[in-house]
Amino acid sequence: MTWSFNFFIHVALFGLTTAAVVASFIIHRQIVKEKSWEKRLYLAGLMRIFSRFIPVNALLLLITGFGNMMNRYGTNNQWPSEEWLSVKVVLFVILAANGLYLAPRLGMKRTMLINSVIEGNGPADADQQMQKKNSFVTALSIVQIILLIAILFLSVYGSGKHPGMF
């Protein structure tokens, strides 16, 4: 069996993606539980740390994923005929789009609401708005976790395996 550094990097990057999604979910749950607006702002700032890694991680996952396809199939166009791999690519694109587009916007809106309350010019129904924003972030987090589990399931139980598996 051949050894593939590209495959190893791909698996490590998937682990980092999983860690970022799970850590963001845990911090989000702390924001939901927290009563102090100042602590909510601090926790929201922590979430931004994880979001900074997402663009680079997504790009590297795509590059190493296509590298794995090249290792497995060469230059012929056989991979689109394998449904499990096509579905996995589509799920990853949805996961990355959510992480690159939806998550930062939802987080920014929630952080702006927290800032306005701390500054004293927040809306009268700030708690209700916060609950609404939190429910959107919770829904997105659940979708992201489901996508990660589906990608992992397809990776483990897909019909083909990478030739460089350890």
Question: CA–CA separation, 65 vs 87, rounded Å?
Answer: 13
Instruction: Give, for all 166 residues of the chain, the pLDDT tens digit.
Output: 356 788 889 889 999 999 888 999 999 999 999 999 999 999 999 888 877 888 888 899 989 888 887 777 776 666 666 777 788 889 999 999 998 899 999 999 999 999 999 998 989 898 999 999 999 999 999 999 999 999 988 888 776 555 444 3
- Which of 96, 102, 118 has the alpha carbon at shortest distance from 34? 118
